[in-house]
């Protein structure tokens, strides 16, 4: 059965993907420009991202790490405001990951170097790493009492862990949860790498 353009009801070829004929696609773009939309093509987007070819842009698109382009139009184009919104959202997500990694790093440092908390190097750090409960530790003045750790959202923290490349963080080989880290894997070098990653 022949397919028809959703807009003008012209026949469109079987090999044509999408719902609009090419003429209607072009009209759609012209209309957006007439409406004052700031449109960016693939070359323009590549420039914004600082990648040097449209081919690289396509590679990024396949990974799903670009702003959504204008739908139903074969020629790739983006509304500038969608690109800007995407950047803002990405930045917010990055901020959350960074804050979470810093919180985890702080808790790793506190637990690892506190002789009340870290009794044996072969122990796992456990849920302490997420800082949700008070635990007995050593205060700045040397007294042993309940201390505060940094509260960290576990789901975000696990997401962050997934993004750490194992080749740069061999500490995570065979580990899928921060709580499973044993104290012997935690040292200052690891903590500093973690603080610098996001």
- Cβ of residue 37: shortest distance to Zn ion, in angstroms? 20
Of 124, 96, 98, 97, the closest CA to residue 111 belongs to: 124
Token digits of residue 196: 């610098």
Other CB atoms within 10 A of residue 99 CB: 16
Please, what is the minimum distance in Å from the beta carbon of residue 16 to Zn ion?
A: 11
Minimum separation from the CB atom of position 39 to Zn ion (A): 20
Residue 33 Cβ vs Zn ion, minimum distance, rounded to whole Å? 18
- Give 14 or 63: the residue with its C-beta nearer to Zn ion: 14
Q: Is 28 in the site for Zn ion (CB under 5 A)?
A: no
Choose one: 1-9, 58-66, 166-174, 186-194; the region binding Zn ion (CB under 5 A): 1-9
**Residue number with CB closer to Zn ion (5 or 135):** 5
Show the binding pattern over residues 62-101: x = contacts Zn ion (CB under 5 A), - = does not.
----------------------------------------
Q: Are 74 and 24 in contact (CB under 8 A)?
A: no
Stretch 110-169 residues interacting with Zn ion (CB under 5 A): none
With CB under 5 A as the contact rule, the residue among 8, 116, 119, 136 that binds Zn ion is 8
Stretch that binds Zn ion, among 6-14, 66-74, 95-103, 148-156 (CB under 5 A): 6-14
24 binds Zn ion (CB under 5 A): yes
- In whole angstroms, what is the distance from residue 189 CA to residue 193 CA? 6
Measured between its terminal Cα atoms, the distance across the chain in Å is: 53
State which of residues 1, 3, 7, 176 lies at the interface with Zn ion (CB under 5 A). Answer: 7
Binders of Zn ion: how many residues, by CB under 5 A? 6
């Amino acid at each position: 059965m022949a397919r028809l353009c959703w807009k003008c009801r012209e026949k469109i070829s079987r090999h044509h993907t999408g719902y609009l004929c090419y003429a209607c696609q072009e009209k759609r773009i012209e209309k957006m420009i007439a409406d004052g939309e700031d449109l960016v093509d693939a070359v323009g987007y590549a420039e914004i991202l600082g990648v040097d070819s449209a081919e690289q842009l396509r590679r990024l698109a396949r990974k799903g790490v670009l702003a959504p382009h204008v739908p139903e139009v074969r020629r790739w184009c983006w509304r500038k405001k969608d690109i800007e919104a995407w950047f803002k959202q990405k930045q917010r997500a990055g901020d959350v990951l960074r804050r979470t990694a810093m919180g985890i790093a702080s808790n790793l440092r506190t637990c690892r170097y506190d002789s009340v908390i870290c009794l044996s190097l072969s122990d796992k750090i456990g849920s302490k790493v997420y800082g949700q409960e008070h635990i007995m530790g050593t205060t700045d003045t040397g007294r042993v009492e309940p201390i505060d750790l940094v509260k960290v959202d576990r789901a975000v923290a696990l997401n962050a862990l997934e993004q750490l490349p194992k080749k740069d963080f061999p500490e995570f080989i065979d580990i899928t949860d921060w709580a499973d880290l044993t104290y012997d894997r935690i040292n200052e070098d690891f903590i500093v790498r973690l603080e610098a990653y996001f």
